[in-house]
């Protein structure tokens, strides 16, 4: 894609600063037109912040998610099937013992991880993974991960009918107890066997689970859990106050329907509402505020072109009975491919408090969104380094921002405020 001159200059200067671990002033996105009226990309000069980017951790294999412990340590999942504990100064532990066998390939394997709201008392954690079929043995090693990837190529060559008859693996959301020394987990319990992405707890202690794409074929099956956000009790049952309980056409566990690939989930601390970042087809990525019982339109409502693999269908931007996104990236040139999101609440970057951050995969940048109420006032692109897919963003207890890369040689990047010199 041809870049505008001012953007090329900004990109070069940003990359140079990162390479030498120098303070960076975030550059403004001035080159793309708004996707729709009211979606502004105005200059954020008044709120620009200087930051330092450093390599916090290197040498992990496909890190996917982070969870910050009360003592300052960090739990990090690796797709091949390992949980690591990382200290505040970047020391990486041996793999945590007790992790179940994982059948991993590509970015699928051991994925998201979160803490119980009462972790300090019960030490419970929750994570999701692709489990090996019955009878398959996995040692969660890098060698096994590579072997599964080779088998995946063979599986891809099968027909649809052959794939349906050949179990590849099974998704699970589970709970477990982390030992006091953080070296093992125990008491593994299956909470859900849906196809999950991101996990979070709401203020009532219910577990929210975003799910992967609905089948592109025909009318969606709302008794299945594809394309929904689920809301579960900790034991995996559906709460009695879920919006579709008693509806014979929709799964009792569903909280909202009509999503595609919701790989971002975060609570707005100002309102208590949960926001989701949903991947569109070839484009059309969205941010939605989820409300109980609402339908967000997929596969009949979309703001971007459909991928070639999807069959033709009615493709409107509006449909009666469905909700509109509060923000979207419509054209391919605007595509983000969001993989995670968080609201910043720390003290390290006061000008960014209340801002929404999203990581991008194919877009390969960190998006910072400035909000006015429930509206996006402006967008800024950070860390737009070519070749660096970004998987997860989180905030540490010190207010620093941590970003996982999704690359063959990934890093955990750490954004901190530069030290002011006398």
Local mean pLDDT, 10-residue blocks, the chain (422 residues): 31 37 43 49 53 94 97 97 97 97 90 98 97 79 85 75 68 96 97 92 97 57 80 96 93 92 95 94 86 90 67 67 85 77 96 94 88 84 84 96 93 90 62
| Residue 8 backbone dihedrals phi, psi, to 5 degrees | -60, -40
Half-sphere exposure at residue 231, Cβ-oriented, CA atoms within 13 angstroms: 22
Query: At the top level of CATH, which class does the domain 62-206 belong to?
Result: mainly beta
Q: For the whole prediction, is pTM greater than 0.85? A: yes
Between CA 339 and CA 371 the distance in angstroms is 20
Between CA 291 and CA 243 the distance in angstroms is 10
Coil, strand, or helix at residue 320?
coil
pLDDT of 216: 46
pLDDT of 32: 46
* Cβ-based neighbours of 22, under 8 Å, separated by 6 or more: 16, 52
pLDDT of 308: 59
Which among 422, 394, 389 is positioned nearest to 408, based on CA atoms?
A: 389
* Cβ-based neighbours of 2, under 8 Å, separated by 6 or more: none
pLDDT of 170: 83
Could you tell me the CA-to-CA distances from 164 to 26, 97, 130, 154, 329 in Å, in that order?
48, 33, 17, 14, 34
Which tokens sit at 234? 């900790």
| Contact present, 272 and 205 (Cβ < 8 Å) | no
Between CA 349 and CA 368 the distance in angstroms is 13
pLDDT of 218: 43
Q: Which DSSP symbol is given to 282?
A: S
Q: In the chain, where are the structural domains located?
A: 62-206
| Contact present, 148 and 195 (Cβ < 8 Å) | no
């Amino acid at each position: 894609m041809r870049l505008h001159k001012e953007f090329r200059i900004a990109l070069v200067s940003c990359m140079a600063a990162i390479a030498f671990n120098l303070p960076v002033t975030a550059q403004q996105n001035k080159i793309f037109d708004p996707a729709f009226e009211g979606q502004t990309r105005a200059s954020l000069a008044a709120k620009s912040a200087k930051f330092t980017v450093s390599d916090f951790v290197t040498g992990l294999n496909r890190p996917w998610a982070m969870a910050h412990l009360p003592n300052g340590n960090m739990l990090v999942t690796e797709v091949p099937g390992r949980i690591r504990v990382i200290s505040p100064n970047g020391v990486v532990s041996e793999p945590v013992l007790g992790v179940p066998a994982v059948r991993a390939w590509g970015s699928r394997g051991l994925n998201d991880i979160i803490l119980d709201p009462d972790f300090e008392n019960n030490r419970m954690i929750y994570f999701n993974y692709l489990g090996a079929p019955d009878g398959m043995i996995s040692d969660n090693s890098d060698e096994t991960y590579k072997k599964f990837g080779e088998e995946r190529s063979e599986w891809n060559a099968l027909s649809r009918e052959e794939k349906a008859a050949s179990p590849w693996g099974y998704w699970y959301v589970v709970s477990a107890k982390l030992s006091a020394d953080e070296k093992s987990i125990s008491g593994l319990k299956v909470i859900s066997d849906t196809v999950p992405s991101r996990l979070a707890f709401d203020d009532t202690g219910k577990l929210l689970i975003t799910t992967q794409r609905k089948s592109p074929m025909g009318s969606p099956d709302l008794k299945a859990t594809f394309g929904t956000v689920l809301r579960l009790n900790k034991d995996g049952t559906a709460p009695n106050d879920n919006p579709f309980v008693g509806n014979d056409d929709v799964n009792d566990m569903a909280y909202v329907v009509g999503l595609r690939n919701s790989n971002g989930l975060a609570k707005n601390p100002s309102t208590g509402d949960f926001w989701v970042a949903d991947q569109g087809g070839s484009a059309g990525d969205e941010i939605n505020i989820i409300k109980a019982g609402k339908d967000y339109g997929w596969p009949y409502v979309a703001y971007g072109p459909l991928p070639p693999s999807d069959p033709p269908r009615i493709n409107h931007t509006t449909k009666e009975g469905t909700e509109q996104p509060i923000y979207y990236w419509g054209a391919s040139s605007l595509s983000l491919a969001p993989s995670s999101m968080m609201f910043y609440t720390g003290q390290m970057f006061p000008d960014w408090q209340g801002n929404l951050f999203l990581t991008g995969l194919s877009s390969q940048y960190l998006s910072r969104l400035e909000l006015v109420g429930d509206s996006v006032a402006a967008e800024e692109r950070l860390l737009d380094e070519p070749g660096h897919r970004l998987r997860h963003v989180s905030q540490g207890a010190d207010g620093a921002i941590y970003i996982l890369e999704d690359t063959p040689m990934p890093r955990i990047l750490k954004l901190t405020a530069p030290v002011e010199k006398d």
